[in-house]
Structures are given as structure tokens and as C-alpha cells.
A and B are shown apart, each in its own frame.
Chain A
Amino acid sequence: MSELTIVRKLTPAQKVLRVFNNSIVNVVLVIVAIFWLVPTFGLLLTSLRSSSANASSGWWTVFTAPAQLTLENYANLLSNETITGSFWNTVVIAVPTTFAVVIIGALAGYAFAWLEFPGRDWLLIAVIVLLAVPIQVALIPLARLFGDLGIFGSVFGVILFHTAFGLPFAIFLLRNFYSQFPGELMEAARVDGAGEWNIFFRIVLPLGLPAVASLAIFQFLWTWNDMLVALIFTNAESMPLTVAIQTQLRQFGSNIDVLSAGAFLSMIVPLLVFFAFQRYFVQALLAGSQK
């Protein structure tokens, strides 16, 4: 039997083949990686060239004439009140939405994981069904409802909309995470006389922080990057960056300075969040589709 555990020796030919294969894989993946990077890189370089340069030549000419690089577009962007205002609006929409989704989702997630009540499983299945509901079904009725409530066109409406459509995923993700806690932990706390609120704030929230972080990052990026909801529910005063930028699309060529710098500006925050918390973001995606 011991022969089986001996690692099979590779013949020289197999060794050569393996090295060869590996280097082919490496070359192919380097090319793939370059192809994947070029679009973003091109946008960055475009945003660093003047509009006249962009009208007459492509961003790749930077490599032969680096003198054309300029921060002019960004300077213009930052003195453009529509853009700075919409950047602020994006923050005002994305941050409260993230908090609302996390808080409401955590409360419900705990109830679904650890509180017994009639119809719990059916309610949970309802939440799972709502996971895939396209936001399109809510656009017309909520435009009307928000109109009646007088919040159509304000950031408040957008926050409500995103909170509602972020909740099924939040509840689902947090319930799954919370239900993995050992039952003895809750039991012990209850025996010690801790109420549900106590358990929630003292045990569940702190222990569930990794899941909350995943959810928060996912929800923040989602809301930050949204265009459709904001396109309908905001006006010129309350519009976020995505909507402000898309108004320039009609004249793609002549507005390329605003478009490229604006698009890159809108990407900076998500990219920072992404690189800083990549692990949590991946976790959220895994929890969302595999659990």
C-alpha cells in the first residue's frame, strides 16, 4: 500500500511540458489582465488631457507626448457647482441608505434567526421571493406615492426606494449569518435574564459585525452606483453624480472632458472602498448567491 503514496516521478519530457504550459498560461493571463485594465486606464488618461487634445487624438498619444497631461478637467469639475453638488448628493443618498438597510435588516435578520413566531418560515420564503423582484415594478407606483407624499424629487424618496429594495438581501444575508451562532450562547444569555434587545445589542450585533460589514459595503456601492432610480426620483437639485454626468452624454465628443473626469470622480470612492474592503465585498456576493 505504501507504494501508492509515493509521488509519481515526472519524466523530463513531462517536466518540460509543464513549464511550457505554465508559461503559456502566464502569458495568456498577462494579456487578459492588460485587456481588462486598458478601459479604465484609458478613461483615466482621457480625463487628464485637455478637451482640445481629446478632440484631435486618442489617449494613447500620452505615451509619446506626456506633456499633454493636465489637471485642467478636474479643476474645472471642482469649480462646477452642479458636479460638486451632485457629489454631495451621492453621499447624502448612499450613507443614510446604507445605515437604514443595515439597521432594519439586522433587526429582522435576528427575528428570523432566533425568535419563534407563527408563519416565520413563510415570511422568510416571501423575503427570498422578493430578492429577485426587478425594481421596475415599483417605479410607477412609487413615483405616484412619493408625489402624493411630496417627496418626489428629493433625496429622501431615493433613500426610501433603495432601502426597500436593499432589504430582502440584507435580511437574507444577516439571517443566514446569525443563525450560525451557537444556540447555547443565546440560551445562556436568556437564562442570565437578558432580554431580546439586550441579546441583540450585546451579542448578535458585535458577533455579526463581519456580515454587517459585507452588507454595508455591498449596499453602499450599489446605492452609490445607481442611476435608474435617481434618474426618475431626483431633480436638478437632488441628483447624484451618475445622473449629473449622464446629462452630458448627448454630446459625447465635445463633452468628453466633463464625462471622463466626472466618470472617474464617480469611480474614486467605490474603488477606494473596493480595494480597502475587497474581502467583505466578495463575502457579500458569496452569501448572496450561494447560501
Chain B
Amino acid sequence: MTDTVTAPHSPRTGKRAAPSGRGRRALIIISFLAPALVVLGALVVYPIVFTLVRSFYDRGGDAFIGFQNYLTMFTNDTTFTAIRNNILWVIVAPLVCTILGLIFAVLLEKLKWKTAFRLIIFMPMAISMLAAGVIFRGLFQENPQLGAVNAGIVGIQSVFEDSSYFPGAKIREGHGVVMEQSVMVTEGEVAPGSSVNFPLTAVRQTSLPEDAAQAAPAPEAGGDQVTGTVFLDVVPGGGGEQGQIDEGKSGLPGIRVDAVTVDGDVAAHTITASDGTFTLEGLDSAQTYRIALPASNFSEGPTGVSWLSATFINAVVILAYIWIWAGFAMVMIASGLSAMDRSLQEAARMDGATEWQVFSRITAPLLTPVLLVVLVTLIINVLKIFDLVYVIPPGVSRPAANVIAVEMWTVSFGGGNDYGLGSALAILLLILVLPSMILNVKRFREERRA
């Protein structure tokens, strides 16, 4: 053997030199390998065995309890939620990332600014999941004043409805209108053909809508109409007479006004104009109505979606993950595309195939191996997801967002001190990545043979 190995120092004679050729050779090989083998053996392989054994013992490690921890895992609500969420993650996140990555990679090719686009999509890969978590938690805050997503939604909503909101507004008593359970309403009933004014107070001048104009007197009411003015009964700087529409008093636009029948039904409704006037039409002149400003006018306005609540939390965290990892899929698939021989596609185009046909019949099938690699890599990664789920959900929605890795941390280090259950959860994760491991080895052996 020594002769076939190419070490030139090895003595060719049969004499045994002090460190023999073979021994010396072995020593050299060991010195290259030993650091890696020692570290991997002591800090990776030994822990796997230890954790496996530990998973059959109770929390303190004193009593052997067989598969009890594994049973607990699937019967305990908290851990079961974690497993269920992991399944959701594995189904949704890798697939969406890969599809987005594929779309980006294909569209990218035609782009003049592809380098910039690639950098932008890929950049989140460089930052920590903690930072990404802080970012997304901020974006999805419930208050539309603070969270950008809800601000966007509320902004779009307000384009389609011209309502305004005057939280905390009060009615000026003694002018025929009163407050009844946060609804402002006429004291008695009014007949069509009359007018009702609503003098309000406790609205800050600064929170008036931009289109608010000098209040105007109510227009003449027709036989089937009730008209009126909703106005801020305050002259900035003082002056004016209470309950009267004076110079300097602003109309309150965008307020909903209802005409309510004796039975409590809303017979007509309208929205005040920028000078605060309103006209309720189509009323029955034989009936009387109470005119009301419903409480919705005086709420805080559209409150925004509670993204971080239990209902939506998983969607938000998965979205953050997609924001980070779609770039990975894109870069992988783009490199697969650029390595591809394009003659087939060209030939198909010559024969009059549409771009979609070229893509779906030729490019996509040729990309399958790359897509599989991306999917497998992402699945392994998603199974172990920890940081994002640890960071984004506020305390109340944490149970709903739980995943195996977070649960493993919680039961063993985050206060649970149950190293038995923690070990079992770690082994569960290991079992879940086993298929990907086998696939990795298979791929390696195939490449060797090729």
C-alpha cells in the first residue's frame, strides 16, 4: 500500500524505519482529520445520542419513562398546536417562497435593472431574523397611526367612504338635541318639512377634516325632507352665541345622519356636507321621526385589523419568512436558469410556441431538479424555525403561533425545565428532517456515480 500511495518519503525497502511509512502516513491523515472529527464527535454526534436517550427519561432525568414524553407531545394542547403549526409552515412557506422565486427569476431575465432588483429581494437574507422580526412586528401594529399595513388599509378605505370621525365629541345641551347612550338624537320627534341643528363641542380645531368649511344654515326642507346642520359650536378665539350658527363656526363634514322611525328603523340616512348641512329625503310626510347622529361618528374611526392577534399571527410570521427567503429561492433558480442550454427554447420559439408554452413545457420541466433542491432546503429550514416566532407574536398570541423549536426552548430553557420533553421534541425535529437527509445522501451518491 505504501508504494501506491504517493508520499515520496516512504521508504521503498522492506526495512522498518523508525516511524514507518504507513504509520507516518496515518499520522498525517489523522492530523488533518482529527480536529473536525473530535469537534463533530463531541459536540454533534454525542449530543444526538444523549438527547435520544434523555428523551426516554422524566423531566429531572431520574426515572425511565419509555415513550411517555412522546405521548405527552401529541396529547398536550400546547405542544400539539406547535406540531400543527409546523405542518402549516412546511406546507405554505417553502412553496410560496419557491413559486415567488421562480416568478422573479424568470421575469428578472428581461429586466434592465436586474442586478438592483436581485439585490433588493435578496438583501433580507443578510439580516438577522431578530431584526426581521422587529421590522414585521412594527409594520403590523394594530393602531393605524403606528402600523404601516393598517395605515395603508385605512387609507384605502377612507378613499372609498367620505366619513369623518370625531371621537369624544359632545352635544351642546338645551337646543333640542340630547345624548342618549352615545347617540346624539332629537329630544322629540320631528315631522318632514322641518330642520334640526346639531351644535357639537369637544372637537379640537386641529382635528377638523381639511374640507371643513364655515357652517351654513340648514337648507329649506321639502315636504318629504328633514334638513339641518351639524356644526362645531365654538368660535376659535371666543365669541358667538351658543347654539347659533355664527360667523367662524365650522361645519362638521362626513357625519352620518339617520332618520329613525317610531319603531326604531332607519328610514333614511345621509352624510353631512363640508358646511355641515344635511338633507334627509324620501320621508313619509304623515309620519314623525327622530333624527340621530349614530355613535359610529364618534368612535376612534377605522381601527385596523388586529394582525398580531391569534387569528392572523401565523400569516404574519410566515409572511416575514417569505420576505427573507424568497430571495434565496430566486437566486438559486436564476442560477439554474443561467446554466441552462437555451437551444430547445429557441427552437420552440421558432416553431411558433408562445412564451407561456415555452416556459411550461420546456423551461419548468428542465428546472425541476433545482426547484426540488430549493424546496428541500427550505423545508429543512422551516422545520427549525425559531427566531421569527419568538420575536413577532406579542405575549397573548404566542400560544397560537407556537412551533416545535419554540416549544422545545420553552419547555427546557424558557421556564419549563422539563429536559425529558425537550429532548423528545428535539428528536421529533430530527425525525422530521430525516427524509431530507436521506435525499441529500442519495443525491450525493448519484453525483458520484455520474
**Partner-B contacts on A (CB < 8 A):** 4, 8, 22, 25-26, 28-29, 32-33, 36-40, 42-43, 46, 54-60, 103-105, 107-108, 110-111, 115-117, 123-125, 127-143, 145, 160-161, 163-165, 167-168, 171, 186-187, 190-191, 193, 195-197, 200, 221, 224-228, 231-232, 242, 245-246, 249-250, 252-253, 256, 259-260, 263-264, 266-267, 270-271, 273-275, 278, 281-282, 285-286, 288-291
Q: Which residues of B contact A116 (CB under 8 A)?
A: 5
The 8 nearest A-B residue pairs measured at CB? A164-B43, A225-B128, A274-B126, A108-B36, A138-B47, A141-B50, A141-B47, A111-B32
Q: A36-B323, A140-B54 are in contact. List 5 more A-B contacts (CB 8 A).
A: A140-B47, A160-B39, A225-B128, A246-B390, A275-B119
Q: With an 8 A cutoff between CB atoms, is B146 at the interface?
A: yes
Interface size for chain B: under 10, 10 to 19, 20 to 34, or 35 or more residues? 35 or more
> Within the complex, what minimum Cβ distance (angstroms) separates B272 from chain A?
27
> Within the complex, what minimum Cβ distance (angstroms) separates A49 from chain B?
11
30 contacts across the A-B interface (CB closer than 8 A): A8-B350, A36-B121, A38-B148, A39-B323, A108-B37, A111-B32, A115-B32, A131-B437, A133-B44, A134-B384, A136-B408, A161-B43, A164-B39, A195-B7, A195-B9, A224-B128, A225-B129, A226-B128, A227-B129, A227-B130, A227-B390, A228-B405, A250-B395, A253-B141, A253-B146, A266-B130, A281-B125, A281-B126, A282-B335, A289-B332
Number of A-B contacts (CB under 8 A): 291
Contact A131:B124 (CB < 8 A) given known A25-B110, A139-B412, A193-B8: no
Q: Which residues of B contact A42 (CB under 8 A)?
A: 135, 138-139, 148
> Within the complex, what minimum Cβ distance (angstroms) separates B31 from chain A?
8
Q: With an 8 A cutoff between CB atoms, is B396 at the interface?
A: no
Q: Give the docked Cα–Cα distance between A29 and B326 (Å).
A: 14
Q: Give the residue name and chain of the B residue nearest to A221 (CB).
A: B126
CB distance A136 to B425 under 8 Å? yes
Q: With an 8 A cutoff between CB atoms, is B88 at the interface?
A: no
Against A, the Cβ 8 Å flags (1 = close, 0 = not) of B358-398 are 00000000000010011011001001101100110011000
Instruction: Name the one of A142, A256, A271 contacting B123, with C-beta atoms under 8 angstroms.
Output: A271
CB distance A228 to B386 under 8 Å? yes
**Partner-A contacts on B (CB < 8 A):** 5-9, 26, 28-29, 31-33, 35-37, 39-40, 42-48, 50-51, 54, 104, 107-108, 110-111, 116-117, 119-132, 134-139, 141, 145-148, 151, 323, 328, 331-332, 335-336, 349-350, 370, 373-374, 376-377, 380, 383-384, 386-387, 390-391, 394-395, 405, 408-409, 412-413, 419, 422-423, 425-427, 429-430, 433, 436-437, 440-441, 444-445, 447
Contact A140:B8 (CB < 8 A) given known A43-B131, A133-B44, A134-B429: no
CB distance B135 to A40 under 8 Å? yes
CB distance B123 to A40 under 8 Å? yes
